[in-house]
Chains A and B, each alone.
Chain A
Amino acid sequence: MTSGLSAALAIAKKDIVTQFRKKFEIFSMFLFALIAVIAFSFAVVSGGSVPAEVGSALLWVIIFFTGMFGFAPIFLSESETGTLRGLATAPIPAWSVYLGKVFYGFVLMGIVEVFLVPIISVLFGFSILNDPLLAFGTIAVGTLDLAAVGSMASALSMPSESKSTVFPLVYFPTATSGLMLLIELTKIVVLGSGAVVIGAGLTVLLIFDILLAHLIAMLTLSASVFHFALSP
C-alpha cells in the first residue's frame, strides 16, 4: 500500500517536473480559460454586469472545458512517446499509476485555478469569500474529482481511432454528474445558503457529502478497473 502510494507520488513528481520544464502547456491552458471567459461574456453580460448565480456556475463550466484541454494529454502523450509500455511493465500496481496521474492532473489544474478563480470572480463580479472554508473545500474536492475523471477519460481514449475527438465524449458523461453538484455548491457559497432553493430536508453538508461520495466512487471504480486499461 505505502509502496504503491510512493510510486504514485514519484510518477506525479516526474510529470510535474517535465511539465514545468516546458511551461507553455500550463500557460496555454490558462489562456484558453481566458478565451472561454470572453466567449461566455458575450452570452451572459447584460447591462454591464453578470448575475452572481450565472457567474458562479460559469466558473465551473470554464474549469470543465479547461480540463478538457489539460487532462486529454495525460495518457495520450505517454502512448505517443511510447513510455506507456514502460509504465505497464514496471513492477508497480496499476492503481498507483492511475493515482499518480490524478495527483499530476490535480496539481496542473490547481496551478491554473490559483490564477483563474480570482480573475473570474473579479470579472464576473461575485465573491467566494462569504464562506472561505466551504469554497476552498469545494474547489479542492471538485478539482480532484475532475482530475480523477479526466485521467480515466484520457486512459479510455487511448485505444480509439480518433483520440482527440473521442476524449470529450468520454470526459463529458463521467464528469457531468460531479459538475452539477459543484455548480450547486458554488452557488450556495456565493449567494448564501438561504438564497438558494434546494430540496426539502437537504443541507449544504449533505450535498458536499454527495460530492465526496462521488469523488470516492470515481477514484475507487477507476483505480480498481485500471489494470485492465493498462493491458490492452
Chain B
Amino acid sequence: MSRNRLIILGITAAISLLYIYMTWIFAPPDVQLGEDVRIFFQHVAPALVAYGLFGGTLLCGIMYLWKGEMKYDIIGAVTIKLGLLFTTITLLTGMMWANAAWHSYWNWDPRETTTLILWIAYACILAYRASVSDRESRAQFGSIFGIVAFPMVLLSYLSIRIWDTLHPIVIEPTGLNMEVEHMMTLFVAMIAMTLIGLILVDLTYRIDLANEKLMRIRMERS
C-alpha cells in the first residue's frame, strides 16, 4: 500500500462522508418530489460513472489494439465488470425512484429500456470473453467487441432526447435545471462516486493482474 493510495483513500472517505451528509441532511426536500429527491443523488451519480467506465472500456480497447500491452486488456475487462456493477446500482435505485414517483417499478421508459439493454450488452461481452480460451485472441477480439459495442452507450445517453419520455432532462445546454443546493449535492456526489469507482478499478485491476500471473505460472508448471 503506497502513500499516494492512502492519501486518495482518505480523500475519498472524506468526500463520501460529505456526500452522505449532503444527501440526507443538507439537501432540502424538493418542491415536487419531496423527500424522494434523495434517491436522485444515488441514481444519477452511479449512472454517469457507469457511462464513464464503459467509455473507459472503449479507450482501453483502442489502446490495446494500438500498443498491444496486456495491461490495457485487463483494465478493459475490469471497467466492464465495474460498469455492470454501477449500472446495476443505477437500475435498482431507478426502480425505487420510479415506484415512488410513477407508482410502478418498471415503466418501459426509453431510458430504462436502453439502460437494461446496456447491462445485457456488456454482460454479453463478459460472457463472450469467457468463451474464448486463447488469452491473446481473447484480448484482441474482446477489445474489438468493446469498441463496436460503444454506440449503445451513446444511444442510452441520448434516448431521453430521441423518445418521448417520463425521464426529466436535467442537463440542458443552458445549464443544470435544478436548485442550487441540489446542484451542489450532485456535484459532490459525482466526485465521490468517481473516486470510489477509480479505487474499485485500481483494486480489481491489481487482483486480476495477480490472478493472471498466478494462472500463467501454474500453466507453465503443469
Answer whether A and B are interacting partners: yes
Q: Are A159 and B137 in contact (CB under 8 A)?
A: yes
The chain B residue sitting closest to A172, CB to CB, is: B124
User: A161–B128 Cα gap in the complex (Å)?
Assistant: 10
Among the listed A169, A198, A225, which residue makes an inter-chain contact with B124, where contact means beta carbons less than 8 Å apart? Answer: A169
Q: Are B163 and A184 in contact (CB under 8 A)?
A: yes
Q: Does B134 reach chain A (CB closer than 8 Å)?
A: yes
Q: Are A176 and B121 in contact (CB under 8 A)?
A: yes
Q: Are A199 and B163 in contact (CB under 8 A)?
A: yes
User: A119–B49 Cα gap in the complex (Å)?
Assistant: 46
Q: Are A152 and B148 in contact (CB under 8 A)?
A: yes
Among the listed A160, A198, A214, which residue makes an inter-chain contact with B164, where contact means beta carbons less than 8 Å apart? Answer: A198
Which of A156, A165, A173, A232 gathers most chain B CB within 10 Å?
Answer: A173
The chain B residue sitting closest to A159, CB to CB, is: B137
Give chain A nearest CB distance to B15 CB in angstroms. Answer: 34
User: How many A-B contacts at CB < 8 Å in the complex?
Assistant: 99
The chain A residue sitting closest to B144, CB to CB, is: A225
Interface string of B126-139 (1 = CB under 8 A from A): 01100111101110
User: A184–B113 Cα gap in the complex (Å)?
Assistant: 14
Q: Does A170 reach chain B (CB closer than 8 Å)?
A: yes
The chain A residue sitting closest to B129, CB to CB, is: A160
User: A210–B162 Cα gap in the complex (Å)?
Assistant: 10
| Contacts known (A161-B132, A214-B151); A198 close to B144, Cβ less than 8 A | no
For chain A residues 143-162, which have a beta carbon within 8 Å of chain B? 149, 152, 156-157, 159-162
Q: Does A66 reach chain B (CB closer than 8 Å)?
A: no
CB-CB < 8 A to B143: which residues of A? 228
CB-CB < 8 A to A173: which residues of B? 117, 120-122, 124-125, 145, 149, 152
CB-CB < 8 A to B120: which residues of A? 172-173
Q: Does B185 reach chain A (CB closer than 8 Å)?
A: no
CB-CB < 8 A to B152: which residues of A? 173-174, 176-177
Main secondary structure of the interface of A (DSSP, over half): helix
Interface string of B91-125 (1 = CB under 8 A from A): 00000000000000000000000100100111011
Q: Are A198 and B145 in contact (CB under 8 A)?
A: no
Q: Does A221 reach chain B (CB closer than 8 Å)?
A: yes
Q: Does A12 reach chain B (CB closer than 8 Å)?
A: no
Q: Are A174 and B128 in contact (CB under 8 A)?
A: no
Among the listed B137, B147, B155, B161, which residue makes an inter-chain contact with A221, where contact means beta carbons less than 8 Å apart? Answer: B147
Give chain B nearest CB distance to A161 CB in angstroms. Answer: 5
Q: Does B209 reach chain A (CB closer than 8 Å)?
A: no
User: A221–B149 Cα gap in the complex (Å)?
Assistant: 10
The chain A residue sitting closest to B160, CB to CB, is: A199
Q: Does B88 reach chain A (CB closer than 8 Å)?
A: no
Among the listed B117, B128, B158, which residue makes an inter-chain contact with A160, where contact means beta carbons less than 8 Å apart? Answer: B128
The chain A residue sitting closest to B124, CB to CB, is: A169
Q: Does B65 reach chain A (CB closer than 8 Å)?
A: yes
User: A176–B122 Cα gap in the complex (Å)?
Assistant: 12
Among the listed B140, B155, B164, which residue makes an inter-chain contact with A177, where contact means beta carbons less than 8 Å apart? Answer: B155
For chain A residues 167-202, which have a beta carbon within 8 Å of chain B? 169-170, 172-174, 176-177, 180-181, 184, 197-200, 202
CB-CB < 8 A to B145: which residues of A? 156, 170, 173
Q: Does B211 reach chain A (CB closer than 8 Å)?
A: no
Among the listed B117, B124, B144, B164, which residue makes an inter-chain contact with A229, where contact means beta carbons less than 8 Å apart? Answer: B144
Residues of chain A having any CB pair with chain B under 8 Å? 149, 152, 156-157, 159-162, 165-166, 169-170, 172-174, 176-177, 180-181, 184, 197-200, 202, 207, 210, 214, 217-218, 221-222, 225, 228-229, 232
With contacts A157-B128, A170-B145 known, what are 12 further pairs, Cβ within 8 A? A159-B138, A160-B131, A173-B121, A173-B124, A176-B152, A180-B114, A181-B155, A197-B164, A199-B164, A200-B164, A210-B158, A225-B144
25 residue pairs bridging A and B, Cβ less than 8 Å apart: A152-B144, A159-B138, A160-B128, A160-B131, A161-B133, A162-B131, A166-B128, A169-B128, A173-B122, A174-B149, A176-B121, A180-B114, A184-B162, A197-B164, A199-B160, A202-B162, A210-B158, A210-B162, A225-B144, A225-B148, A228-B143, A228-B144, A232-B136, A232-B137, A232-B141
